[in-house]
Amino acid sequence: MSVARVKWLGEADIAVDVDATRALAARIAERNQQTAPAGFAGCDCAECRNLALSFDERFPESLKKPLTEIGIDWKQPLEAARLVCHEAERAISHACEFFFVGHAPPHLHFVSSGGDYINITGEDPRFGGLLRQLHGSDSAFGNISIDFPNVPWLLQEPFPEYD
């Protein structure tokens, strides 16, 4: 295990095991494919399939290389959570969750050079169990959460209704 301290995007002071992160990314991609072959981020729901339609195009260009350099596969988030549903605009805001093997300070928020909102934290307990299962070790994990605001509804299915 070789952990490199990184000033990620010139701002975030994190420690990353790049080889272990790359191995974890491969396991996440496999898990996503097995769990939801026609879905996205391991989920078959309409929201996730809708996000998949514009994900590559909307993904912040400025983040692709920095994520790849620390071993993360930016096309394979572990989860694409819904943050807000904008019914009038027929759009949904999501946050996509990426993980690395290593350490990040808790609750570090910052905005990237491209103006995209990113949130980096130490381990999020919601994902710890699944990550340890996928990675097969009790390593520490850092979380990089990227916002996808106002994703338009493109799917040929009714816009989801919420209570």
In whole angstroms, how far apart are CA 104 and each of 82, 118, 122, 163? 24, 13, 5, 36
Q: Provide, rounded to whole angstroms, the least separation between the CB of residue 143 and Zn ion.
A: 18
* Type of residue found at 108: L
Among 15, 23, 45, 108, binds Zn ion (CB under 5 A): 45
Q: Provide, rounded to whole angstroms, the least separation between the CB of residue 40 and Zn ion.
A: 7
Among 24, 48, 96, 118, binds Zn ion (CB under 5 A): 48
* Pairwise CA distance, residues 63 & 74, whole Å: 9
* Pairwise CA distance, residues 113 & 63, whole Å: 9
In whole angstroms, how far apart are CA 6 and each of 58, 73, 82, 93, 162? 26, 18, 30, 29, 41
Which residue, 78 or 101, is less far from Zn ion as judged by CB? Answer: 78
Residues binding Zn ion: number (CB under 5 A): 3
Q: Is residue 20 a contact point for Zn ion (CB under 5 A)?
A: no
Q: Provide, rounded to whole angstroms, the least separation between the CB of residue 45 and Zn ion.
A: 3
Contact map string, positions 122 to 161, toward Zn ion, x by CB under 5 A: ----------------------------------------
* Pairwise CA distance, residues 72 & 107, whole Å: 20
* Pairwise CA distance, residues 11 & 80, whole Å: 24
Among 3-11, 43-51, 69-77, 112-120, which window interacts with Zn ion (CB under 5 A)? 43-51
Q: Residues interacting with Zn ion, by CB under 5 A?
A: 43, 45, 48
